[in-house]
Amino acid sequence: MSNYKLGLDFAKEQDKNDPLSHYREQFHIPKDKHGNDWLYFTGNSLGLQPKSTQKYLQQELDDWANLGVEGHFEAKNPWMPYHEFLTDSMAKIVGAKPIEVVTMNTLTTNLHLLMVSFYQPTKTKYKIVIESDAFPSDRYAVQTQLEFHGFDAKEGLIEWTPRKGEDLLNMEDLETILEKQGDEIALLLIGGVNYYTGQYLDIKKIAQLGRAKNCMVGIDLAHGVGNINLELHESGVDFAAWCTYKYLNSGPGSLGGLFVHEKHAHNKELKRFAGWWSHNKSTRFNMRQPLDVIPGAEGWQLSNPPILSMAAIKASLDMFNEVGMEAIRKKSIKLTGYFEFLLNELNNDKIKIITPSNPKERGCQLSIQVKDADKNLHKKLTEAHIITDWREPDVIRCAPIPLYNSYEDVYKMVSKLKELLK
């Protein structure tokens, strides 16, 4: 959509015609001391709380209070199979088959568990490729995996880097890396949407390039899940992991999820760190059985799930199931496009958008690079209750979230920014 217009009336008209606008009322929007809504643009860091979350949590607290241990089988939503209540919805969100998805642990824990299985280095094929500005947790995870296997992390880690003077990654450069060093590379572990620039990478292409050189391919989708139409099964990546507290609005530090492609579902020979919950459900309580791994993603579970975190996730996933990723993505493209239009109309050389302009190469986040790394601009926005986040060295990250941000939010934010830039 390129026919955006300036002025508050246009924003209000868009909100009036927005089929998702009523979902804003289903979230708690933080307010200032005068009772005015904050302008909240950090759902890419921590999503806002759905009003339904309290009811979902209360159900489990009541069942715990009234049933004690019997809640595992007698609760309204029995706790024993509780993670299964999330699987179908999560699979839809990431474009996977139910057998390929499970909700468990946190993101980096899941990455380590998956690398136990999918990073199987040899003396000659052991290197790992990450993007040069990967999220620190990913970098630390792969460095320590290399060291755990007895390799020098400096020598074993290959960085896919933007070209000189550019901010974004170029797929041709990854092709070049694989052409030159593919025989030494065991694993590609790439962030599907870069946390800093907001660039969305073609994960299907990455999987093809990796496969051609017999490399395993894993994707960190912390910034992709609930933001992009992912089609994980079709992409052909071997595995992926994500958190749920950003775009999936499940609460601070809530559980993550993982994907293991169906082609690995029945391979019991894959090395793994297993636990009680990896074992065949029908004989799990016989207690003295040798490990019989569950097929699919569930076979990477370790322990019985934390129900209170899962209840909060269920509240959010039920809303996502109702709306559907297609509608969310459709609004996301329009809303972020409007945001980009207004920022460009400021025509101010103090700021620059470094996120790709092509909607197919980004989610809803725009990364605004600030000249001279002037953090003062972010500070003044925060003082005005416009909540964005600053990422070193020089970027303000802003994400208008389709479920609870309005066109009017975006208009007001850019109007305040204009005032502050003068």
Q: Quick one: average pLDDT of 397-405?
A: 98
CA distance 181 to 192: 22
Alpha helix ranges (H) inside 192-274: 203-212, 232-235
Domain ranges in the chain?
A: 8-44+324-421, 58-321
* 2 has a pLDDT exceeding 80: no
* Residues 187, 216 contacting (CB under 8 angstroms): yes
Angle between helices 203-212 and 171-181 (to 10 degrees): 10
* Residues 371, 350 contacting (CB under 8 angstroms): yes
Per-residue pLDDT reduced to its tens digit, 274-301:
999 999 999 999 989 899 999 999 999 9
Per-residue pLDDT reduced to its tens digit, 310-362:
999 999 999 999 999 999 999 999 999 999 999 999 999 999 999 999 999 99
Per-residue pLDDT reduced to its tens digit, 36-78:
999 999 999 999 999 999 999 999 999 999 999 999 999 999 9
* 17 has a pLDDT exceeding 70: yes
Report residue 87's pLDDT band, with 50, 70 and 90 as the boundaries.
very high
Report residue 374's pLDDT band, with 50, 70 and 90 as the boundaries.
confident
Q: What share of the chain in percent tops pLDDT 70? A: 100
- Supply the CATH classification number for the domain 58-321: 3.40.640.10
* 79 has a pLDDT exceeding 90: yes
Q: How far is CA 352 from CA 32, 54, 167, 217, 348, in A?
A: 29, 40, 11, 33, 8
Q: Quick one: average pLDDT of 138-167?
A: 97
Alpha helix ranges (H) inside 266-367: 307-323, 325-346
Direct distance between the N- and C-terminal alpha carbons of the chain, in angstroms, rounded to an integer: 29
Domains 8-44+324-421 and 58-321 share a fold: no
Mean pLDDT for the chain overall: 97
Report residue 118's pLDDT band, with 50, 70 and 90 as the boundaries.
very high
Question: Candidates 3.30.460.10, 3.40.50.2300, 3.30.420.40, 3.90.1150.10; correct CATH number of 8-44+324-421?
Answer: 3.90.1150.10
Q: How far is CA 271 from CA 115, 120, 153, in A?
A: 10, 9, 22
Name the strands in the sheet holding 389-391, side by side, starting at the edge strand that comes first in the sequence: 351-353, 366-370, 395-398, 389-391
pTM: 0.96
User: Which pLDDT score is estimated for 373?
Assistant: 87
How many beta carbons lie within 10 A of that of residue 282, not counting itself? 8
Per-residue pLDDT reduced to its tens digit, 256-276:
999 999 999 999 999 999 999
Q: Quick one: average pLDDT of 95-106?
A: 98
CA distance 257 to 214: 26
Phi-psi region of 391 (alpha: psi -120 to 50; beta: other; left: phi over 0): beta
* 1 has a pLDDT exceeding 80: no
